[in-house]
Amino acid sequence: MKILIIGSGGRESAFAYTLSKSPRLDQLFIAPGNAGTGAYGENVNIKVTDFEAIASFVLEKDITMVVVGPEEPLVKGIHDYFLNRDDIKHIPVIGPQQEGAQLEGSKDFSKQFMDRHGIPTAASRSFDAASLDEGLLYLEGQKLPIVLKADGLAAGKGVLICETLEDAKAELKAMIAEAKFGDASRVVVVEEFLKGIELSVFVLTDGNSYKVLPSAKDYKRIGEGDTGLNTGGMGSISPVPFADDIFLNKVEERIIKPTVEGLKKDGIPYKGFIFIGLMNVGGDPYVIEYNVRMGDPETESVLPRIESDLLDLLEGVAQGNLEQRSFTVSPKTAVTVMLVAGGYPGAYESSKEITNIENVKESLVFHAGTKEQDGKVVTAGGRVIAVTTLQNTLFEALQQATADAGRIYFEGKYFRRDIGFDLI
Ligand code: AMP
Ligand code: GLY
C-alpha cells in the first residue's frame, strides 16, 4: 500500500513510525511532515488544507490511502473533497466527512448529539447574540464554577472556567458581543462544571462496528503539579491505571456504543478515529468533548502499544469490514514527555539547534515542531519533540521517559518532570 499521512506534529510522527513497520506498506509520504518524519517516509511540502495540491500528489504517486492527522482539514471537508471528485473518490480517506467532523468543529452540535442519544455529559445551554440577555440571566441561576465554551474551533483556547458570576457574565459578553474568539464564539455553550479526573478513550470506526483502542491520559497544563496555562499537551501515559475494566465497560456501554449508533441513526457516515475526552466523576464517565482525530501527545503513547499491524485496522475502516479485523495491545506502560520551546504556550523563539537526540537509546523520539535548516535540525514550533518509552511498569516508564527527555538539548528547552507521577 502507498499511504499519505496529512500533518506535521508528534502525532503524525507516531503514525509514520507505526505504519512504517507494517509488512504491507510499500511507500509512505507525509505532508508536510517535520525533520523526523523523513526517517519513516518521504516528506512532501504541501499544506494540510491545500486539497487541490493533495489530490494532484495522490494521483501522481498512486496513493492507496490518506490518513488525516489534525482536525482542521477534516472540519474543512477534505474527505468530502475526495468524494466529490470522480478521479479520486475511490481513494479511502481515514477521517470523517465534514458533517461528522462537526462533533469537534461545533460544541453546540456535539452537545445536541449527546442529548439526542442519551450520552452522559454536563448539562448545558447554548446562547448567541439574539439570546445573550437570556444567557446572562441563565448564568444567575447556575452553580459556580461554570464553564463557557466557544462553539467553534479556537486552537484549544476556547474553554473558560469562571469562578464568579461577575466573571462569567463578563466573559459571556466578551465571547458573544465582542467576538473574543472571533467567529468561533458567535455561539457559546454554557456548561455545568464537572469535578473528577480526566482521561481519553480512542475509538476507530468504519461507521458500523468499532474498535476501542488503548486509553490515555494527557497533561495539559504547562507547569508541574498541573499549574499554569493550558497547552496542547505536555505529556501522556497509556494505559490509565484508574480506568479499570469496570469503568471502561461503562464507557463502552454508555458512551461508545450510543455514539457509533447515534451517528448511524442520524445518517452521518463516519470512517475514522473518535477521541472521547472523559471526566471520571466518582466512577461514572461523562463526555467533556469529542475530537474527530487522535490526540497529540496521546497518540505517541497509544500507538506504540499496538503490537499488531495498524494498517490492517485502517484497511478494515476503508473497506467497511473492521468487524473482521483484530488487534493486540502490549500490557506495558507507555509514557510520553513533551519537550517544548522556552516561553510556550506564550511567545517563543524558533530555529534553535537541537542536539544529542542520538543519546536517547531506550525511548522513541517523535519529532513535532522541528525542521531542517542548513543541514541542522532546529526548533520550529512550541511543542518540539515527544519522547516516548515503553516499560513493564508505570514507575520504570516514568523514570526512563523523564531521563531521556533530559538527554536532548536545545536552547530554552522545557519539559515537565512530573508527567504521570500523580498516578503512582
Ligand atoms: P475542551 O476544549 O472541551 O477539551 O476543554 C478544555 C478543558 O477544559 C478540558 O480538558 C477540561 O479540563 C476543562 N473542561 C471542559 N469542560 C469541562 C466541564 N464541564 N467541567 C470541568 N472541566 C471542564
Ligand atoms: N492532547 C489534546 C488534543 O490532542 O486535543
The residue contributing the CA closest to ligand 1 atom 9 is: 288
- 364-367/235-238 β-pairing: unpaired
Atom of ligand 1 minimally distant from the CA of 156 = 2
Q: What are phi and psi of 66, to 5 degrees?
A: -115, 125
**Which atom of ligand 2 lies nearest, measured to the CA of 296?**
4
Q: Is residue 225 part of a domain?
A: no
Per the domain annotation, does 27 fall within a domain?
yes
Whether omega for the bond prior to residue 241 falls within 30 degrees of 0, making it cis, is no
Q: How far is CA 344 from the centre of its chain?
A: 19
User: Ligand 1 centre from 138 Cα, in Å?
Assistant: 20
C-alpha cell at 225: 503539579
Cell numbers for 46: 504541501
With a Cβ cut-off of 6 Å, ligand 1 is lined by 122, 147, 159, 191, 193-194, 198, 220, 277, 288-289
Range of the domain at 73: 2-96
- Give the burial class of 212: count Cβ atoms within 10 A of its Cβ; 0-12 exposed, 13-18 middle, 19 or more buried: middle
Ligand 2 atom nearest the C-alpha of 295 is 4
Whether residue 345 contacts residue 396, with contact meaning beta carbons closer than 8 Å, is answered with no
- Indicate the residue among 158, 176, 192 that finishes a domain: 192
**Would residue 144 count as lying in a domain?**
yes
Closest ligand to 103 CA? 1
Alpha helices in 279-358 (DSSP H): 298-302, 310-319
pLDDT of residue 51: 98
The CATH number given to whatever domain includes residue 83 is: 3.40.50.20
Instruction: Return the H-helix or E-strand segment holding 52.
Output: helix 51-61
pLDDT for res 218: 96
Strand partners, 225: none
Last residue within a domain, chosen from 172, 192, 212? 192
Contact 300, 14 (CB under 8 A): yes
Instruction: Give how far Cα 236 sits from Cα of 100, 192, 203, 219, 308, Å.
Output: 26, 26, 17, 6, 21
Q: Which atom of ligand 1 is nearest to the CA of 288?
A: 16
129 and 67 in one domain? no
Q: Which among 23, 39, 11, 142 has a CA at the least distance from the CA of 358?
A: 39
Among residues 18, 45, 36, which one has the least CA distance to residue 330?
A: 18
The domain tally of the chain equals: 2
Amino acid 424: pLDDT:
86
Same domain, 91 and 150: no
Query: Do the beta carbons of residue 74 and residue 96 sit within 8 Å?
Result: yes
| Grid cell digits, residue 226 | 498541573
Residue 139 has a pLDDT of: 97
User: Is 182 found in the same domain as 137?
Assistant: yes
Can you tell me which residue has the cell 519533540? 385
- Is 150 within a domain? yes
Please give the biggest Cα pair distance in the chain.
61
For residue 337, being part of any structural domain is answered with no
Residue 148 in domain: yes
User: Is 305 part of any domain?
Assistant: no
- What pLDDT, on the 0 to 100 scale, is given for residue 154? 86
Backbone angles phi, psi at 31, to 5 degrees: -120, 115
Which residues have C-beta within 8 Å of that of residue 107, sequence separation ≥ 6?
149, 150, 151, 152, 189, 289
Statement to judge: residues 56 and 139 lie in one domain: no
Tell which atom from ligand 2 comes closest to the C-alpha of 293: 4
CA of 299 to the centre of ligand 2 (A): 9
Residue 67 included in any domain: yes
Nearest to 394 by CA among 302, 332, 337: 332
User: Does 23 share its domain with 90?
Assistant: yes
Q: Whose CA is nearest to atom 5 of ligand 2?
A: 295
If DSSP codes are grouped into helix, strand and coil, which group holds residue 200?
strand
Q: How far is CA 169 from CA 139, 163, 174, in A?
A: 7, 11, 9
- pLDDT of 188: 96
| Integer angstrom CA distances of residue 248 from 145, 305, 375, 393 | 28, 17, 47, 20
Q: Which residues of the chain have pLDDT under 70?
A: none
Helices (H), 64-141: 71-75, 78-83, 98-105, 107-116, 132-140
- pLDDT (tens digit, 9 = 90+) per residue, 243-262? 999 999 999 999 999 999 99
Distance from C-alpha of 169 to C-alpha of 14, rounded to nearest angstrom: 42
> Which whole-number Å values give the CA distances from 76 to 66, 169, 181, 182, in the listed order?
16, 32, 18, 17
Query: Are 92 and 174 found together in one domain?
Result: no
Pocket probe mutation, ligand 1, options 159, 160, 296, max atoms within 8 Å of Cβ: 159
Q: Among 163, 192, 221, identify where a domain stops.
A: 192
Atom of ligand 1 nearest to the CA of 289: 3
Tell me, what CATH number does 172's domain have?
Answer: 3.30.1490.20
| Whether residues 82 and 138 fall in one domain | no
Residues within a 6 A CB radius of ligand 2: 218, 232-233, 291, 295-296, 298
Ligand 1 centre and the CA of 288: distance in Å? 6
To test the pocket of ligand 2, the residue of 74, 291, 383 to mutate (highest count of ligand atoms within 8 Å of its CB) is: 291
Which atom of ligand 2 is found nearest the CA of 218?
Answer: 1
Do 8 and 85 lie in one domain? The reply is yes
Whether residue 80 sits in one domain with residue 9? yes
CA of 139 to the centre of ligand 1 (A): 18
Residue nearest to ligand 2 atom 3, measured at CA: 295
Within 10 A of 276 (CB to CB), how many other CB atoms are there?
23
**Which bound ligand lies closest to the C-alpha atom of 157?**
1
**Distance between CA atoms of residues 187 and 172, nearest Å:** 10
Nearest-Å Rg of the Cα atoms of the chain is 21
- C-alpha distances (whole Å) from 106 to each of 30, 93, 100, 290 are 28, 21, 10, 10
Comparing CA positions, the residue from 99, 317, 100 lying closest to residue 209 is 317
